[in-house]
A and B are shown apart, each in its own frame.
Chain A
Amino acid sequence: MSDVRPRIRLPRSARAGEVVQVRTLVTHPMETGNRRDTDGTAIARQIINRFTCEYAGKVVIDAKLGISVSANPYFEFDVKVEESADFVFTWYDDDGSVYTQTESFELS
């Protein structure tokens, strides 16, 4: 899919050892597979089925998603930051596509 856009919000600054909040959203219809189009043809399921966040090479969260997650899946969670390092966010689509976004993070 071409219109899949990740949006990430990280705090501007944080001190070592601080727990910070991360907010993520990816634009995606999360088609459930239960809907029909106007001709009555079933619309195939296509969802983001997995989302992961890593920081400094370590797992923050690893989420397995079902069809009851809203369109444009949104997640907010907490990370303990110990160093200036990259965040890597990855979304896995039913169609095999993998969307990755990397954000560098600097300690203040």
Chain B
Amino acid sequence: MITRRETLTAAIGAAAFMALPISARASAVEASIASFTGGAQISDGGVTLIAPEIAENGESVPVEVDAPGATEILILATGNPTPEVVRVGFGDASGASRLSTRLRLGETQEVVALARMADGSILRGVAEVRVPIGGCGG
């Protein structure tokens, strides 16, 4: 027979177990953001991030980032164990600071796009993507 106390203890144990990877992920996200911004302040807006509300397949989620005037873009999958997806610099022959690509998303999470503008300021766009079937190999 399982007592209420045992159930509670198991639940606390599970919570403690889950907390570790989540905080490790959070620090990986923070480290990626810090390396991109170099400590510069982040402002919301100016970045259009188009992603599906619900991903049909977490192995391949189409995402488009449009950040007019940006010299560089960083896309982060904040819920993945390795959040940094792609970092793109736009050169002299670029026609627009826009990129479409496809991401792997392991679970429901926020996708974040950071854009470095020509004046050095950093802009951010965010999209929440629900992922019924994850894309990180189980």
Question: Is A8 engaged at the interface, CB distance under 8 Å to the other chain?
Answer: no
Bound complex: CA A58 to CA B64 (Å):
23
Report the nearest B residue to A30, measured CB to CB. B104
Q: A60 and B94: CB pair below 8 A?
A: yes
Bound complex: CA A69 to CA B75 (Å):
10
Contact for B98 among A34, A65, A73, A77, CB less than 8 A: A77
Q: B104 and A63: CB pair below 8 A?
A: no
Q: A77 and B84: CB pair below 8 A?
A: no
Interface size on A, residues (CB 8 A): 31
Q: B136 and A34: CB pair below 8 A?
A: yes
Bound complex: CA A61 to CA B95 (Å):
10
Query: Within the complex, what minimum Cβ distance (angstroms) separates A85 from chain B?
Result: 9
Contact for A69 among B93, B94, B103, CB less than 8 A: B103
Q: A63 and B86: CB pair below 8 A?
A: yes
The proximity string for A residues 47-74 relative to B, scoring 1 for CB distances below 8 Å and 0 otherwise, is 0000000111011111111111111011
B94 — which chain A residues lie within 8 A by C-beta?
59-61, 77-80
Q: B60 and A71: CB pair below 8 A?
A: yes
**Known interface pairs A70-B59, A73-B101; A64-B95 also in contact (CB < 8 Å):** no
B137 — which chain A residues lie within 8 A by C-beta?
32, 34-35
Q: A59 and B93: CB pair below 8 A?
A: yes
A19 — which chain B residues lie within 8 A by C-beta?
95-96
Contact for B100 among A64, A68, A75, CB less than 8 A: A75
Q: B100 and A66: CB pair below 8 A?
A: no
Q: B95 and A78: CB pair below 8 A?
A: yes
Bound complex: CA A25 to CA B48 (Å):
23
B77 — which chain A residues lie within 8 A by C-beta?
68
Question: Is A3 engaged at the interface, CB distance under 8 Å to the other chain?
Answer: no
Bound complex: CA A11 to CA B23 (Å):
46
Bound complex: CA A39 to CA B61 (Å):
30
Contact for B93 among A34, A58, A71, CB less than 8 A: A58
Q: A61 and B90: CB pair below 8 A?
A: yes
Bound complex: CA A80 to CA B135 (Å):
35
Query: Within the complex, what minimum Cβ distance (angstroms) separates B107 from chain A?
Result: 12
Closest 8 CB pairs of A and B: A59-B91, A19-B95, A78-B95, A76-B100, A58-B93, A80-B95, A70-B102, A78-B96
On B, residues with C-beta under 8 Å from A are: 59-61, 64, 77, 80-96, 98-105, 135-137
